[in-house]
Homo-oligomer: A and B are copies of this chain.
Amino acid sequence: MLESNPARVCRGGSGPRYPHRVPRVVVDVVLKPEISDPQGQAVLGALGRLGHAGVTGVRQGKHFVLDVEGTPDEAELREIAETLLANPVIEDVELHLSGS
Question: Could you tell me which A residues sit within 8 Å of B by CB distance?
Answer: 1-2, 5-17, 22, 28-30, 40, 43, 46-47, 50, 52-70, 72-74, 76, 78, 80-85, 88, 92-99
Q: Label chain A's interface by main secondary structure.
A: mixed
In this complex, the member of A56, A64, A68, A72 whose beta carbon has the largest number of chain B beta carbons within 10 angstroms is A64
| Known pairs A58-B65, A62-B60; A43 contacts B85 (CB<8 A) | yes
**Told that A9-B78, A47-B84, A54-B68 touch, could you supply 5 new A-B pairs with CB distance under 8 A?**
A2-B83, A12-B99, A28-B63, A54-B69, A55-B67
On whether the beta carbons of A7 and B78 are closer than 8 Å, the reply is yes
Q: Once the chains bind, are B63 and A67 in contact (CB under 8 Å)?
A: no
- Which B residues lie within 8 Å of A53 (CB)? 69
Q: Which residues of B contact A10 (CB under 8 A)?
A: 13, 94-97
